[in-house]
């Protein structure tokens, strides 16, 4: 099904099942331990062996010798895979550094060897006996140093320019020029990367934990030099991905190589201390923002440049994305600068681009509002735009940012905020409020599905879509139920298997809208098949209460499959509407913090997100997405930072003890409001992405609240107490 004109009325508009806050259908599987994660496939492959990965002990250079004899002689060892014996490996499209390194070492903890043994303990013990000698070369390991050293700049897109930024900025009566820092961050998902690989002749099956099955299958086939149809990936449950599992990692490739070498299925999980440096991370940024405005607070110049680092051939953190679209302003500059840095590969994490970009832009907006003596909510409203500022012919499909801000301000009690900072005390706490706009683009992706109807009227959905803890099972089931006029318990949803039709997968908050639209397409086909089978007119037949009706005729749904299951497969393909309309999602984030006047410790007291993100397919799963994202925003604001050893080139705090994500005690009551929307431009579902929107802007709202509480403006995340202590008021 092509989607190239705005959606008209369709069966989803009934909203009998879609739009209801239904419990997750995979909930009981998970809470009873029956949902199997990648390391828990105990019966699909006979007597698996266990793998343990050895990571590089240097950041850059070459392996000069590998001493493997002691490890080979260690009890239970079946095979040791290294670049020397792995055969020719190619690089998948989506990996920057090879997933098995050697003799060249591209980054610290790059996998150099896999030890396969009868048990996990034997593999780990033998891995300890592997001795690797290196010839290290000098590297540059942090962005500031790379900037100072003039490390090579890699090609990025040319600067995006509108009007004459420099002139307008020079002429503006009120200006701001500020630089912000965001640190390297780690996905820190709960489930580690893990895979079980089994060969049947030249046919490879990998049970793994992956967000994007079709990408993973293709990249694994490419890496191993296999035809794609020889590779099957299975990943029905994923214990968090956050972008770290968008692409296959070393566990997938090494499990396959280990299984080939040991002639046994091989299971392996990346040990937690390996993950931060072996896999990807969100790269640090330095962001310079220049704003120029009239005295009345109309932005006339908006400049945002962002520097980030990556391995040679990597991509920049696209932190200026939102700045091209969020506010009006006739003269604009947005540019990305990418330095070569020899840290592990940087890649997508938790709303890449907008999340770190808004961490800077939305502090800058707060600073500018203060210069203009304008309320920060009012300043944002004053600079709203309903069209793409670089192409005014191109409207937003729907944009209710102003409504989010107004509704949020009223609900949050924004009028009680003191415009002057450091005015409110509650015992030892300095209390302040902050606001930020939230923005994330709505991406749409081709997505396929297959639906089956049996003679009992039961419906089965099959697609390689993943559920990374988001609620995909439930909303895909709701979509099929709505389309075929049955209740959710009449639908079985099967996901995460590359033998099913390729879907949009889970990434960039495109999953829910795109994948349900794929199920919509397949169900549309199935409805036609059902009508045909019953001799009804497909255009006028209606599906409700387990029955199909056409005029005064009616039949039980299952009757259409009385002499055999009916199967329909289709995909949704998006075209051209993206060119005519800018599709984005919007939020207003409000935060109240307390800062301990003596210690500088910050505590979140209240949070509110008001979101405008199209039709909400399931308010319960959507809310869970948003509160999880808001929690990530707390982490990014207050604690999350990969500490870089700038001499040796690795992330030091590479476990969950040293890399601090928020825990329950850090998270207050969170309120989430969804504005009533349905966006006919986005898909037949009229939905949009919402998961990542919940994060975008949150950290800046925290930073702005801390400023309001203390009067200390911190432009470098995370906002730890050492950055506040010097500026806190005297307490004596």
- Residues with catalytic annotation? 692
Rounded least distance, CB 281 to ligand MOS, Å = 11
Distance CA 449, CA 572 (A): 9
Among 183, 189, 184, 185, smallest CA distance to 272 is for 189
On the CB side of 539, CA atoms within 13 Å amount to 0
Distance CA 304, CA 698 (A): 19
Rounded least distance, CB 167 to ligand MOS, Å = 37
Complex with ligand MOS: residue 434 or 691, whichever CB lies closer: 691
Torsion 553-556-559-565 (CA) sign: positive
Angle at 691 between CA 686 and CA 694, to 5 degrees: 115
Q: Tokens standing for 629?
A: 């994202």
Complex with ligand MOS: residue 82 or 235, whichever CB lies closer: 235
Contact 292, 172 (CB under 8 A): yes
Rounded least distance, CB 691 to ligand MOS, Å = 8
Angle at 639 between CA 637 and CA 644, to 5 degrees: 110
Rounded least distance, CB 469 to ligand MOS, Å = 11
Complex with ligand MOS: residue 41 or 242, whichever CB lies closer: 242
Q: How would DSSP label each residue in 363-408?
A: HHHHHHHHHTT--HHHHHHHT--SEETTEEEEEBS---HHHHHHHH
Q: Tokens standing for 597?
A: 């006047």
On the CB side of 288, CA atoms within 13 Å amount to 7
Distance CA 588, CA 358 (A): 12
Angle at 663 between CA 657 and CA 664, to 5 degrees: 155
Angle at which helix 354-371 crosses helix 698-710, to 10 degrees, equals 30
Distance CA 326, CA 319 (A): 13
Count of positions (residues) in the chain: 732
Cα distances (angstroms) measured from residue 218 to each of 229, 247, 511: 9, 10, 19
Distance CA 457, CA 438 (A): 43
Q: How would DSSP label each residue in 599-661?
A: T--EEEEEEEEEEE-BB-S-HHHHHHHHHHHHHHHHHHHHT--PPEETTTTEES--STTTS--
Complex with ligand MOS: residue 139 or 243, whichever CB lies closer: 243
Rounded least distance, CB 350 to ligand MOS, Å = 5
Q: Tokens standing for 540?
A: 């006028």
Q: Enumerate binding residues for ligand MOS (CB under 6 A).
A: 211, 241-243, 246, 348-350, 352, 507-508
Rounded least distance, CB 340 to ligand MOS, Å = 23
- 63-74 per-residue burial string, b: 16 or more CB within 10 A, e: under 16: beebebeebeeb
Rounded least distance, CB 78 to ligand MOS, Å = 35
- 390-402 per-residue burial string, b: 16 or more CB within 10 A, e: under 16: eeeeebbbbbbbb
Complex with ligand MOS: residue 102 or 507, whichever CB lies closer: 507
Sheet holding 459-462, edge to edge: 2-3, 566-574, 447-453, 459-462, 491-494
Nearest-CB residue for ligand MOS? 243
Complex with ligand MOS: residue 242 or 379, whichever CB lies closer: 242
Torsion over CA of 711, 716, 719 and 723, rounded to 10 degrees? Answer: -60
Complex with ligand MOS: residue 348 or 680, whichever CB lies closer: 348
Please confirm whether the linkage preceding 36 is cis (ω < 30° from 0).
no
Complex with ligand MOS: residue 243 or 314, whichever CB lies closer: 243
Complex with ligand MOS: residue 216 or 507, whichever CB lies closer: 507
For residue 295, what are the contacts with CB-CB under 8 A and spacing of at least 6?
Answer: 173, 174, 372
Rounded least distance, CB 212 to ligand MOS, Å = 8
For residue 428, what are the contacts with CB-CB under 8 A and spacing of at least 6?
Answer: 596, 597, 598
Distance CA 272, CA 290 (A): 40
Rounded least distance, CB 270 to ligand MOS, Å = 18
Among 691, 322, 246, 632, smallest CA distance to 513 is for 691
Distance CA 217, CA 207 (A): 11
Rounded least distance, CB 410 to ligand MOS, Å = 32
Complex with ligand MOS: residue 326 or 629, whichever CB lies closer: 629
Contact 193, 240 (CB under 8 A): no
For residue 32, what are the contacts with CB-CB under 8 A and spacing of at least 6?
Answer: none
Rounded least distance, CB 200 to ligand MOS, Å = 31
Complex with ligand MOS: residue 275 or 526, whichever CB lies closer: 275
Rounded least distance, CB 349 to ligand MOS, Å = 5
Q: Tokens standing for 193?
A: 């990367």
Complex with ligand MOS: residue 347 or 400, whichever CB lies closer: 347
């Amino acid at each position: 099904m092509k989607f190239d004109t705005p959606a008209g009325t369709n069966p989803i508009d009934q909203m009998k099942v879609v739009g209801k806050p239904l419990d997750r259908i995979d909930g009981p599987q998970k809470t009873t331990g029956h949902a199997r994660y990648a390391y828990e496939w105990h019966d699909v492959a006979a007597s698996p062996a266990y793998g343990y990965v050895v990571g590089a002990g240097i950041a850059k250079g070459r392996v000069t010798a590998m001493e493997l004899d002691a490890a080979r002689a260690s009890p239970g060892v079946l095979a040791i895979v290294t670049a020397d014996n792995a055969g020719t490996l190619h690089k998948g499209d989506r990996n920057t550094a090879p997933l098995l390194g050697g003799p060249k070492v591209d980054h610290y903890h790059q996998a150099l060897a896999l030890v396969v043994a009868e048990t996990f303990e034997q593999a780990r013990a033998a891995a300890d006996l592997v001795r690797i000698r290196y010839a290290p070369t000098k590297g540059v390991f942090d962005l500031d140093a790379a900037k100072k050293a003039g490390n090579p700049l890699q090609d990025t897109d040319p600067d995006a320019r509108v009007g004459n930024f420099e002139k307008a900025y020079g002429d503006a009566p009120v200006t701001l020029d500020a630089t912000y820092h965001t640190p390297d961050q780690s996905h820190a998902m709960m489930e580690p990367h893990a895979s079980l690989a089994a060969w049947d002749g030249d046919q490879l099956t990998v049970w793994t934990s992956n967000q994007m099955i079709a990408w993973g299958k293709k990249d694994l086939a490419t890496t191993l030099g296999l035809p794609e149809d020889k590779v099957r990936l299975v990943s029905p449950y994923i214990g968090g991905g956050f972008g770290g599992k968008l692409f296959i990692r070393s566990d997938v490739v090494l499990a396959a190589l280990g299984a080939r070498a040991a002639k046994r299925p091989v299971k392996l999980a990346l040990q937690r201390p390996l993950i931060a440096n072996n896999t990807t991370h969100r790269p640090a940024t330095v962001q310079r923002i220049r704003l120029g405005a009239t005295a009345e607070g109309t932005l006339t110049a908006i400049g945002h440049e962002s520097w980030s680092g990556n391995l040679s051939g990597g991509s920049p953190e696209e932190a200026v994305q939102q700045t091209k679209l969020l506010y009006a302003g006739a003269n604009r500059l947005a540019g990305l600068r990418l330095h070569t840095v020899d840290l592990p590969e940087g890649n997508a994490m938790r709303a890449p681009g907008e999340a770190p970009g808004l961490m800077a832009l939305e502090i800058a907006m707060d600073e500018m509002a203060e210069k203009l003596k304008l309320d920060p909510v009012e300043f944002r409203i004053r600079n709203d735009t309903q069209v793409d500022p670089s192409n005014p012919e191109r409207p937003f499909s729907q944009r209710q940012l102003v409504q989010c801000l107004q509704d949020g301000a009223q609900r949050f009690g924004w009028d009680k905020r003191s415009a002057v900072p450091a005015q409110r005390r509650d015992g030892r706490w300095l209390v302040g409020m902050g606001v930020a706009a939230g923005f994330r683009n709505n991406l749409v992706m081709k997505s396929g599905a297959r639906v089956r109807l049996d003679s009992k009227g039961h419906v089965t959905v099959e697609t390689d879509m993943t559920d990374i803890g988001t609620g995909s099972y439930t909303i895909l089931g709701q979509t099929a139920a709505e389309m075929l006029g049955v209740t959710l318990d009449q639908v079985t949803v099967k996901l995460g298997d590359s033998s099913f039709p390729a879907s949009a997968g889970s990434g960039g908050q495109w999953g829910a809208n795109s994948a349900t639209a794929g199920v919509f397409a397949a169900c549309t086909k199935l409805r036609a098949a059902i009508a045909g089978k019953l001799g009804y007119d497909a255009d006028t037949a209606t599906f409700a209460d387990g029955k199909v009706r056409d005029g005064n005729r009616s039949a039980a749904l299952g009757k259409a499959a009385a002499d055999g299951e009916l199967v329909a497969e289709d995909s949704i393909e998006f075209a051209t509407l993206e060119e005519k309309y800018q599709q984005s999602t919007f939020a207003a984030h409000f935060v109240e913090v307390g800062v301990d006047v003596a210690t500088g410790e910050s505590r979140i007291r209240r949070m509110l997100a008001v979101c405008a993100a199209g039709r909400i397919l399931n308010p319960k799963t959507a809310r869970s997405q948003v509160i999880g994202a808001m929690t990530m925003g707390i982490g990014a604001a207050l604690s999350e930072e990969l500490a870089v050893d700038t001499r040796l080139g690795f992330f030091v705090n590479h476990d969950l003890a040293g890399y601090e994500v928020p825990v329950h005690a850090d998270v207050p009551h969170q309120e989430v409001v969804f504005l009533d929307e349905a966006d006919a431009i986005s898909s037949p579902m009229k939905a949009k992405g919402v998961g990542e929107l919940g994060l975008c802007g949150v950290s800046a709202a925290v930073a702005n609240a801390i400023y309001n509480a203390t009067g200390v403006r911190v432009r470098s995340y995370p906002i730890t107490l050492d950055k506040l202590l010097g500026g806190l008021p005297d307490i004596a």
